[in-house]
Amino acid sequence: MPIATLSIHRGGLGEAPRRDAFEIGFEPGESILDALRRLRVDRDPTLAFRYACLNANACKECMMLLDGKVVYACTARLEPREMRLDPLPNKALLRDLATVIAPPDERLAEGGSAREGLAREGLAREGLK
Amino acid sequence: MNMTTKSAADARHLEADVLVIGAGGAGMYAAIEAARRGAGRVLLLDRSLIGRGGATVMAQMTVAAAVGPDDHWEHHLADTLAAGRGLSDPKLAALLCEVGADCILEMDAWKVGWARSGDGFAAVQAPGHDRPRCVYVDFLSTGPAVSRALRAQVQRVGPAIRRIGEVAVTDLVVQDGAVTGAAALHVATGEALTIGAAATIVATGGLTRLYARNSASLNMSGDGYALALRAGAVLQDMEFVQFFPIGHLAPRLIGMDPIMWDPFRYKLGGRLLNGAMEDFLGRWGGDAENGRYSTTRDLATYAITKEAEAGRGSPSGGAWLSFTHVPEAELRGAFGPVIDRLAANGIDLTRDAVEVSPIAHYHMGGVRVDTAMRTNVPGLLAAGEAVGGANGANRLSGNAITEALAYGRIAGAEAARIAASGETPAFSPAAASEAVARLVASSRPMNTAGMVARLQRLMSRDVGPFRTAAGLARASQALGALRAEVGEAPPGAPGVAHDLARLDWFDLRQMIPVAEAVVQAATARTESRGAHQREDFPETDEAWRLNQLLELRGETTTLSRLPVAA
Ligand SMILES: Cc1cc2nc3c(=O)[nH]c(=O)nc-3n(C[C@H](O)[C@H](O)[C@H](O)COP(=O)(O)OP(=O)(O)OC[C@H]3O[C@@H](n4cnc5c(N)ncnc54)[C@H](O)[C@@H]3O)c2cc1C
Ligand code: FES
């Protein structure tokens, strides 16, 4: 079985970044996402990355850098060599390989008081009654 | 409980008239309709990105709707009821067929881009339909196009609909027997969130993540079933998990969803062959297909599994699917760009057969609702795959998206009415305090990803399409052990960005009771029907023309039976 070495950016915003290296055997044809998901099950469940559709390439959530180039983790194939994985550079970092990719108007506003948002924007509920 | 107590007033809070949980086809249609019916503050949440997280965006094939000149929704209804093997709720099925057709036409006005033929829509005839009735968007783009059109329409509605992604709802909030909102984990920040709403719609999709081999996304943990069950709602037909017979098995295929062979079968027929390259469907009760795709899902699942068990499977334990008899020009004409994507995976269909086997795909069962999509709990509605009833023991291909759209529209209208009526109590933070305490609790590290994988393996082994009393008992025991291991508090601490180990814990808390519900209902149904096949009770028993209902009474889930609604 061929072996890939994944060198992965670890850490969150404001933490000193570090790298972890994982050696992982793979079946030819498997994707980076296949390996990351297996790493979570077998080695480190705290590893953070984004994905939803597993490998259909429909959700477009799994973008990251492979050796400095933007790829979909679910379509980039594993190779028997060192592969460097990093979060998208132009997006705010969440943790490890996960970044903030939702459009700004589809995020929960940062900070905010305990009762914010819709209460300000819309009709007060009492007003409807 | 090993939790820090913290007041719910500390959690961030949002208020809405209508809360929609899940932004797939059902959730987006519900939000649009609620706003159209006057709800001023619709909140559309998804645990992933809006319009991208669920099954809708993944659907590559077709949508069944009686929109052709020679069709009528009553014909579609007759086929739906026949496929349901006697267990469909005819009123819900009728809504799927009638309202669904309207939604397909409305989606056309929203520029979804249904493929055309002459003056009308192009349509294919999928197995179980009496005529060509399944519209689609080329090439294999139906789901993405549906999602895109709905999301664009949601945006066009404007500020009445607020969309927020990365919010995983963990509990519904119940006050005096009514649902008044929800508690949620904001995945991006790891913080707790509460939402107050006059009406709440569960549009969270299905439960395929319970199985190791499944066709849908990470987000299909059956959350909606667990949320509704805990809030006092009734679930029905939980034993009926649909396995898609020809899920891709080998060689490893990436960048395409594993059920993409179905449209090939519609358009080109194709041949299902055993390990010795022989036709075998006939051996298990199928008809000779003669190049036409005519075998229903439950029968194909049965035939492929049995043929492999008899030692005649393909090398990876499934069956071969071959299009080698189809001329290359015809392959290209039907699937142009897809042929190139296959080539990138090293697959040349003129030369190579591929291996396929059954894969968890859809859930017929779900939350029990009336014809307005209301559950028995005031303030709580459901829509889409989260709903049980319309498809009985087996679903026709193409009916799921139609169901999502139609039920979304109906639920949205009813939720707007409820919000305007003021019939539910206003959200009280005290009622959310237990849920919030769980969201801000801390505990020791746990390999929750490994626990999810274990759950998937045990469900695949013992609660797949073929079941026995012994296997179900083993699954029940293993789920009990897993439940104990999961415990009462999530690993780690709150406030960590994108903490998947913690999210998996909240997911396990939903997946375990949902898996137990499937096991409990499957154990009780001592017959075989549609997607539920008991090897120890292989016959269909007329006396079992009953729906099984599940509800939570105190700590125990109780099962009851009801004759199928007329
Ligand atoms: C690969 C594939 C192909 C298919 N092809 C077809 C087809 O061709 N024709 C057809 O009719 N049907 C098809 N189906 C079935 C059909 O796609 C689904 O049944 C239908 O799209 C379900 O729509 P929905 O809106 O109910 O759920 P979904 O589209 O699954 O949306 C549910 C949403 O809820 C979110 N969610 C879940 N839990 C939570 C929570 N706790 N908090 C917040 N959000 C949550 C999810 O992230 C997701 O975005 C296919 C399914 C799959 C998987
Ligand atoms: S996981 Fe969905 S596009 Fe890669």
Three-state helix/strand/coil letters over B307-363: HHHHHHCCCCCCEEEECCCCCHHHHHHHHHHHHHHHHHCCCCCCCCCEEEEEEEEEE
Q: What is the pLDDT of residue B352?
A: 92
Q: Residue B132: which pLDDT band, with cuts at 50, 70 and 90? A: very high
Q: SS3 string of B172-192?
A: EEEECCEEEEEEEEECCCCEE
Q: How far apart are CA B94 and CA B89, in angstroms?
A: 9
Task: Provide mean pLDDT across the span B361-378.
Answer: 98
ω into residue B491 within 30 of 0, thus cis? Answer: no
Q: For the residues of B487-532, what is the DSSP string, one character each?
A: -SS-SB-TT-TT-HHHHHHHHHHHHHHHHHHHHHHHHH--S-BTTB
**Is the minimum distance from the CB of B180 to ligand 1 under 6 angstroms?**
no
From the list A48, A75, A116, the residue facing B500 with the nearest CB is: A48
More confident residue, B346 or A25: A25
Task: Provide mean pLDDT across the span A57-86.
Answer: 97
Q: Residue B291: which pLDDT band, with cuts at 50, 70 and 90? A: low
Q: Residue B337: which pLDDT band, with cuts at 50, 70 and 90? A: confident
Q: Check A52 against B219: CB less than 8 A apart.
A: yes
Collect all residues of chain A within an 8 Å Cβ-Cβ radius of residue B57.
53, 58-59
- Which protein residue's CA is at the shortest distance from atom 48 of ligand 1? B54
Q: Mutate which of A79, A125, A126 to disrupt the B interface (most B C-beta within 10 Å)?
A: A125
Looking at ligand 1, which atom is closest to the CA of residue B206? 30
Task: Provide mean pLDDT across the span B503-511.
Answer: 98
Q: Mutate which of B254, B455, B457 to disrupt the A interface (most A C-beta within 10 Å)?
A: B254
Of B219, B267, B514, the residue with max ligand 1 atoms within 8 A of its CB, to mutate for a pocket test, comes to B219
Contact (CB, 8 A) for B531 and B245: no
Q: Check A41 against B50: CB less than 8 A apart.
A: no
Q: What is the pLDDT of residue A122?
A: 34
Contact (CB, 8 A) for B54 and B206: no
What's the pLDDT tens digit per position in A95-112?
Answer: 999 999 999 999 998 654
Q: Check B500 against A53: CB less than 8 A apart.
A: no
From the list B258, B497, B500, the residue facing A13 with the nearest CB is: B497
**Is the minimum distance from the CB of B365 to ligand 1 under 6 angstroms?**
no
Q: What is the pLDDT of residue B293?
A: 73
Name the pTM for this structure.
0.94
Q: How far apart are CA B42 and CA B413, in angstroms?
A: 12
Which residue type sits at A112?
A: G
Collect all residues of chain A within an 8 Å Cβ-Cβ radius of residue B379.
none
Start-to-end CA span in chain A (Å): 67
Q: How far apart are CA B303 and CA B201, in angstroms?
A: 38
Which residues' Cβ are closer than 6 Å to ligand 2?
A 33, 51-54, 57-62, 72, 74
Which residue type sits at B75?
A: H
**Is the minimum distance from the CB of B262 to ligand 1 under 6 angstroms?**
no
